[in-house]
Amino acid sequence: MTGSADGRLDPKYDAEPAAAASTTEIARKTLDRAVSHLLSLQNDAGWWKGNLETNVTMDAEDLLLRQFLGILTEEQTRATAEWIRSQQQPDGTWATFFGGPAELSTTIEAYVALKLAGDDITAPHMKLASKWIREQGGIAASRVFTRIWLALFGWWPWEKLPELPPEVIFLPRKAPLNIYSFGCWARQTIVPLTVVSAHRPVRPAPFDLDELHADPNDPYPTRPTPPIHTLDGFFIRLDKALHYYHRMPVKSLRRLALQQATRWIVERQEADGCWGGIQPPAVYSLIALHLEGYDLNHPVMKAGLAAFDRFTVHTDEGHRWIEACQSPVWDTCLATVALADAGLPADHPALVSAAEWMLGEEVGRKGDWAVQRPGLPAGGWAFEFDNDNYPDIDDTAEVILALRRVALDEPARSAAAIRRGVDWVLGMQSKNGAWAAFDVDNTSTLPNKLPFCDFGEVVDPPSADVTAHVVEMLAADGRARDPRTRRGIDWLLREQEEDGSWFGRWGTNYIYGTGSVVPALIAAGIRPEHSSIRRAVNWLEEKQNADGGWGEDMRSYQDRSWAGKGKSTASQTAWALMALLAAGEEGETVDRGIRWLAQTQLEEGTWDEPEFTGTGFPWDFSINYNLYRLVFPITALGRYLHGTPHLTPEGQSVDAEAAELPYGGGPETPAPRRGLLPSLAGRRLR
């Protein structure tokens, strides 16, 4: 690999025809250009952050929030409306991911935002949207959160929404359906919504939405009540009782509940003014605090609104859209691993700068996770710039893997942070031996049955992808034979699908799960010839597209027949290659994947990937991480050329024969030497 005077990889690409070049040479040239581009994107402070795209509900709700608070400007409305229009599909609808099917609630919220911007309901794009909405059942068929937004302006009656009493804040931790029964993102949303629900505010609506009711004569239909012996039936009857309580609450208890809920919200505001680093808790927290008397000039409100300004993306076309979240820690640790895999020396300035920044982002105080683990010392990393209340296990595992690849002037500082992170992750293991993203044993199914929980996942059970990243990290820490690691491995082996794949909770979907688990199992000492690895390899080989790449559509979350099927993407092709390379695969399947990456690379060094390959809530909330298309191909290409980091520094696979594990696991894996990239036998020669 050629280098330039500043230590970066040479971006020049030789003009050798692809047909005459070996796959190795093609991979090398493709990698050079990708690495140069990734290095050019690094912030001076050391971090990377790609835009995080979701869907237009973020933008519509931003306008509605500002309209509710009385701070919406003409320019914000114009630029946001132009973005929303640009995302409308030919049939007049909006989807939740690129190329996806029309989605009712998203289309309703987009329509309302455009009407707020002054679009005439008789305009062709508005007529198409309203006609489709009516055909799907109208506003009455939309999700609860959409109807809550409409209730704020009198477009839907509060009496027709599930009741959320603020008194739930008093439920003890061991009580069913206490706020800690929910995943962190859900509890941060539910607590402020209890305040909003108690106030039931209605701002004067600037127009009506009669054209969005399927039946104008019955705009607020009553849904059938399931039998009382079912959970759904029980909770609907409980909701009716809570509506009666809303009319005649115990005033002193209601007042105290509102005070405690408000205090809970304020205490969880992050340093950057946001809540949880994500959009839903932030918008509802601002509304709740405003209803509780917080003036817009109050420091808490000013900081919260300023946070949204930092989440705002302005495009060259004059569009304005809102990131649902920001991912600098995640992007930076993945970029660091990718560049190390690509062959950058461990003391390269870009890697050192990234490591120093990540060390500064370590979470040093306890958050809500400590409710379940009160005696566990703080440690770990969050996903965002500021989210100290909710560090997550996935980021922590990947940051530790990244830090181990960098040589710092003060290695003791990095070693201490790694040790705290490892201890924290081990302390966050769930009873079944696996790991979730944020919480421990957050597995109750009751929250999903509540009438207002129709907006996606509301609990945080362990997942294969997070568990795999933890196992991989623990193996790198020399803990492959640790009983806690072995319990995680056993859980992963049990969770394998019959076809050989693994479900991907935080990435799309079975390709992501399989691409995460196979490298982790190999890192932990599972032999490549183990039946689980062979089944996974066979599945990946079967799912390779005719063009040589891999892809999987979000529809696989709803329809298992879509598993491993979809248009080839750079990120998903890289995940498949990472698994195959970790399993020691060579030959046509791998070479075709490498050549697909080379053939589809853009001149600047990255890849075009409008497809969404990240997951917030399976099917309900999809994400396009704009750096996935770059960091994962770099990782795959680097491992193709140099071998994988899941081998010992000597380049030999872990000896599984000495292990006393039924699945053929290996002995404790030595920690990699700092700055030494493991290699199978130098560069591949083909």
Residues recognised as catalytic: 394
Decide: 551 and 575 in contact? Cβ < 8 Å. Answer: no
Instruction: Please list the alpha-helical segments (H only) found in 524-615.
Output: 531-543, 570-582, 588-600
Distance CA 580, CA 598 (A): 18
Could you tell me which of 521, 557, 516, 559 has the C-alpha nearest to residue 540? 516
Q: Is residue 388 helix, strand or coil?
A: coil
Distance CA 35, CA 46 (A): 16
Distance CA 332, CA 338 (A): 10
Distance CA 302, CA 309 (A): 11
Q: Is residue 435 helix, strand or coil?
A: coil
Report the side by side order of strands in the sheet with 614-617.
Answer: 52-53, 621-625, 614-617
Q: Which residues of 628-651 are buried (b: 16+ CB within 10 A; e: fewer)?
A: bbbbbbbbbbbbbbbbbbbbbeee
- Cα dihedral 67→69→73→78 (10° resolution): -30
| 442's tokens | 């957050």
Residues 6+ apart with CB under 8 A from 673: 649
Q: At what angle do helices 570-582 and 510-523 cross, to 10 degrees?
A: 30
Q: Which residues of 282-317 are buried (b: 16+ CB within 10 A; e: fewer)?
A: bbbbbbbbbbbebeeeeebbeebbebbeebeeeeee
- Measured in whole angstroms, the distance separating CA 85 from the mean position of its chain's CA atoms is 26
Q: Which helix (H) or strand (E) holds 641?
A: helix 628-642
| 36's tokens | 């140069």
Distance CA 208, CA 73 (A): 21
Distance CA 225, CA 238 (A): 12
Could you tell me which of 577, 581, 638 has the C-alpha nearest to residue 405? 638
- The structure tokens 């799309």 sit at 508
Could you tell me which of 265, 210, 212, 206 has the C-alpha nearest to residue 72? 206
| 105's tokens | 């609630």
Decide: 330 and 351 in contact? Cβ < 8 Å. Answer: no
**Rg of the chain over all Cα atoms, to the nearest angstrom:** 26
How many H-runs (helices) and E-runs (strands) does the chain carry?
Answer: 22, 5
Backbone angles phi, psi at 514, to 5 degrees: -70, -40
Decide: 322 and 311 in contact? Cβ < 8 Å. Answer: yes
Say how many C-beta atoms besides its own lie within 10 A of residue 218's C-beta.
10
Distance CA 312, CA 83 (A): 12
